Amino acid sequence: MKKLLISACLYGEKCRYDGKDNMLSCLDLLKDKFTLIPVCPEVSGGLETPRNPSEIIGDRVVMNNGRDVTAEYTKGAEIALGTAIENGCDVALMKAKSPSCGSGKIYDGTFSRTLTDGDGITVGLLKKNGIKVFNETQIKELVEYMELQR
């Protein structure tokens, strides 16, 4: 089966900043079709769960209490990329809007739930390395894309 990198919270792991998950309702369907490789860059980068929410401000990542967590986000991104490469994943399903896993749109750094154009730190690195990224609103497109790759 083809391998798919997936945000661990979409896979049901309670690794979100608030200690909850974002388990997909179609997770079993994806497990039938693909070998899922879960990653949580924020946890593997060394952050605790639960943790304060973070947003990207310029070239830094900062928690809502002012703590600079750029190093943890960068380390987590490198670990996620390493996992993708080791497993031969060239496609990823990553959680929308996250400062790590978001693709296309992320929060704008004002902690006011305002979106702006951009990618999370991990998704930016995955894309730079040629990995195609989808989010959980694009499952149909993802499955079609993966099936065309066979």
| Residues in touch with ligand SF4 (CB under 6 A) | 7-9, 15-16, 40-42, 95, 98, 100-101
Name the residue nearer to ligand SF4 (CB basis): 48 or 147. 48
Of all residues in the shown chain, the one whose CB is closest to ligand SF4 is 9
Edge-first strand order for the sheet with 132-134 is: 35-39, 3-7, 91-93, 132-134
Least separation, in Å, of the C-beta of 32 and ligand SF4?
A: 22
Residue 130: how many other CB atoms lie within 10 Å: 8
Residue 5: how many other CB atoms lie within 10 Å: 24
Name the residue nearer to ligand SF4 (CB basis): 54 or 90. 54
Least separation, in Å, of the C-beta of 82 and ligand SF4?
A: 15
Run of H or E including 84:
helix 70-87
